[in-house]
């Protein structure tokens, strides 16, 4: 077998990410008091409500709340190639949270990536995107966070390897990969387009997942939105710039909006980390903002090819054997929902035929879906989603490889055969 490209999604995923969502990496101190105050109680209530909406848009709760834990109390571990980071407490607790942070302190963290004491923040907190957020929106988020219940729980220190535990080394990283500055509207584009760009590039920080990173943990600037493996979760965020993956050049704007808002559309459904983004964040956004995001995403320049990535491939002969075996496995286990012709019954059961996410160079996501199953998010627009059952206990590594090979190479799909070894590697991957 040779190693080549690595990636695909059994249901189309459009925006990023759950893996590196808003995280205020504390610099370790708690200094003077301060609060965002409006002129009247009614104005303050409106400011807090606006901040709650914007915090939803940024999906802050996903990283700052451990499953079953207190809201925004932090403590979520994030295993990275550089060690484990733990998200901090961002409740208004004076001792352990941001109770003594001022509006200026909070904006500095968002805009410049520096903590209250001036220390550099690790880029697990997406300040490279948040620098685009306006001061008014930062103040609103700050007002909202100060309105939540304080939690007197200390933030757990990061456990980073040397030399990555030396914050001063971040100066070099920032020189290479960080450009400070609020979003500047493009006067040649519509108000709606600019609003979508602001949300996608700023609070939504979609590029954090949909852009590949290099060995230094920095974004590959030439590959913006061109897709990348989410290393913390072992899912692939597909390219938004190639129609061979999740490129949106031939999508209707309504289908993009439906996928963002409801988690399902006539073109596919979201699973894995993207399902969490829709569940925690996007379903709560206004139709106007969702349409603005869809309008912007629709105009991302399309490229003829997706970027090459790492993938285990089989020999042509063994691939043919897997294809034949997979046809029977599909008929026995999959055809009832996805139909013998692979057209499915959308939006409940996504089509597999002519589905870009099935045919991507990578087979990571369809393999994970067959192994682990999953559900699209439960949303107002899709309150009772149909799910995909797991087959990890029912099918061997070779059988999973066979059925994934079959769906990638049937009904006109142009995917390649996958390796049982890759299935084995992903069988033990974390579920979220």
- Tokens matching residue 190: 């519509």
Domains with residue ranges and CATH for the chain: 3-12+312-427 (1.10.760.10), 22-177 (no CATH), 191-298 (1.10.760)
pLDDT at 269: 81
Query: Can the peptide bond before residue 327 be classed as cis, meaning omega within 30 degrees of 0?
Result: no
Q: What is the pLDDT of residues 243-298, one digit of tens each?
A: 665 556 678 899 999 999 998 888 778 877 888 899 999 999 999 999 999 999 98
Contact 191/207 with Cβ under 8 angstroms? Answer: no
DSSP state, 41? H
Note the helical H segments in 199-349.
Answer: 207-210, 253-262, 273-280, 287-298, 316-333, 335-338
> Residue 1's pLDDT is what?
38
The answer to whether 20 and 106 have CB atoms below 8 angstroms apart is no
Lowest mean pLDDT among 9-18, 215-224, 301-310: 9-18
From the centroid of its chain, how far is CA 420? 27
d(CA 366, CA 379): 23
Signed CA dihedral, 25, 27, 33, 39: sign only = negative
- As a whole number of angstroms, the distance between CA 333 and CA 335 comes to 6
Structure-token pair, residue 360: 């991507």
Q: Residue 59 above 60 pLDDT?
A: yes
Which tokens go with 369?
A: 């879906």
Phi and psi of 257, rounded to 5°?
-60, -40
pTM above 0.75, yes or no: no
Alpha-helical segments (H) within 89-242: 103-112, 127-130, 135-147, 170-177, 191-198, 207-210
> What rounded mean pLDDT belongs to the chain?
82
Residue-level pLDDT at 44? 93
d(CA 78, CA 70): 18
Per-residue model confidence as pLDDT tens digits over 166-216 = 888 888 888 888 999 999 999 999 999 999 999 999 999 988 777 766 666
Residue 147 above 50 pLDDT? yes
Higher pLDDT, 71 or 222: 71
Based on the number of CB atoms within 10 Å of its own CB, is 352 exposed (0-12), middle (13-18) or buried (19 or more)? buried
What distance in Å separates the CA atoms of residue 379 and residue 355, rounded to the nearest whole number? 23
Confidence bin at 365 (pLDDT 50/70/90): confident
Q: Rounded CA gap, 362 and 350, in Å?
A: 19
Burial class (CB in 10 A: 0-12, 13-18, 19+), 2: exposed
Determine the average pLDDT of the residues in 221-229. Answer: 65
Quick check: 292 and 192 in contact, CB under 8 A? Answer: yes
Q: Is the pLDDT of residue 142 over 50?
A: yes
Question: What average pLDDT does range 77-86 have in this prediction?
Answer: 80
11 has pLDDT over 50: no
Mean pLDDT of 35-64: 89
Please identify which residue in the block is written with the tokens 């050049």: 249
d(CA 409, CA 325): 13
> Does the pLDDT of residue 406 top 60, yes or no?
yes
- Coil, helix or strand at residue 163: coil
Q: Is the pLDDT of residue 431 over 80?
A: no
């Amino acid at each position: 077998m040779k190693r080549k490209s690595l990636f695909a999604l059994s249901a189309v995923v459009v925006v990023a990410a759950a893996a590196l969502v808003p995280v205020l990496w504390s610099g370790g101190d708690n200094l003077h008091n301060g609060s965002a105050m409006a002129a009247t109680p009614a104005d303050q209530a409106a400011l807090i409500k606006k901040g709650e909406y914007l915090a939803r848009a940024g999906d802050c709760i996903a990283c700052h709340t451990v499953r079953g834990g207190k809201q925004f109390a932090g403590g979520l571990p994030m295993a990275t190639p550089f060690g484990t980071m733990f998200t901090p407490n961002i409740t208004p607790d004076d001792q352990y949270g941001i109770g003594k942070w001022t509006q200026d302190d909070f904006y500095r963290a968002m805009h410049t990536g520096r903590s209250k004491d001036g220390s550099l923040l690790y880029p697990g907190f997406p300040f490279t995107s948040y620098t685009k957020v306006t001061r008014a929106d930062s103040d609103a988020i700050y007002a909202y966070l100060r309105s939540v219940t304080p939690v007197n729980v200390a933030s757990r220190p990061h456990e980073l390897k040397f030399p990555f535990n030396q914050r001063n080394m971040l100066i070099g990283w920032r020189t290479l990969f960080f450009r400070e500055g609020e979003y500047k509207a493009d006067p040649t584009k519509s108000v709606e387009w600019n609003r979508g760009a602001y949300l996608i590039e700023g609070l939504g920080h979609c590029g954090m997942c949909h852009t590949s990173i290099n060995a230094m943990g920095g974004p590959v600037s030439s590959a913006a939105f061109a897709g990348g493996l989410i290393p913390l979760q072992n899912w692939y965020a597909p390219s938004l710039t190639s129609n061979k993956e999740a490129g949106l050049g031939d999508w209707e704007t309504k289908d993009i909006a439906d996928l963002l808002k409801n988690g399902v559309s006539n073109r596919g459904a979201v699973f894995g980390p993207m399902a969490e983004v829709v569940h925690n964040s996007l379903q709560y956004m206004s139709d106007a903002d969702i349409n603005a995001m869809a309008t912007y995403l629709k105009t991302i320049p399309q490229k003829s090819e997706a970027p090459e990535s790492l993938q285990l491939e089989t020999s042509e002969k063994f691939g043919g054997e897997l294809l034949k075996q997979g046809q029977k496995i599909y008929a026995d286990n999959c055809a009832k929902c996805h139909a013998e012709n692979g057209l499915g019954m959308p939006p409940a059961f996504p089509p597999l035929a002519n589905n870009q996410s099935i045919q991507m160079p990578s087979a990571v996501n369809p393999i994970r879906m067959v192994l682990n199953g999953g559900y699209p998010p439960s949303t107002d627009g899709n309150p009772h989603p149909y799910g995909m059952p797991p087959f990890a206990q029912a099918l061997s590594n070779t059988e999973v490889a066979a059925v994934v090979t079959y769906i990638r190479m049937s009904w006109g799909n142009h995917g390649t055969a996958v390796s049982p070894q890759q299935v084995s590697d992903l069988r033990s991957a974390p579920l979220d």
